[in-house]
Amino acid sequence: MKRYSIRSVIVGLATLLGLFACGLPEVRSTEAAKPEIVASKIESRHVDIWSDGTRLSGDLWYLKGLQSGDKLPAVIL
């Protein structure tokens, strides 16, 4: 039982250290932090998706200049 507790503490500390490192300003991308740069590269539009007779409403975000047949990875929430 004691071994499991020590492992949990080590994992917890490693997680906190990782979160702290990700929050440092030197590590983060300066380009991604500027909304005007991101907004100039992305377009969005409203879409309705039908699944089993149920309408799902959402926003589709895509890169400007994307052609009609281009395939990209997608995340649906």
Residue 76 belongs to a domain = no
Which structural domain, as residue segments, surrounds residue 10?
2-63
CA 17, distance to chain mean position in Å, is 21
Each residue's pLDDT tens digit, 17-76: 666 666 555 545 555 556 666 667 888 889 998 989 999 898 888 888 888 888 877 777
Number of domains in the chain: 1
Residue 21 belongs to a domain = yes
Residue 14 belongs to a domain = yes
Question: Are the C-beta atoms of 56 and 48 separated by less than 8 Å?
Answer: yes
Amino acid at 38: V
44 or 6, which is more confident? 44
Residue 70 belongs to a domain = no
> If residue 63 lies in a helix (H) or strand (E), which one and from where to where?
strand 54-63
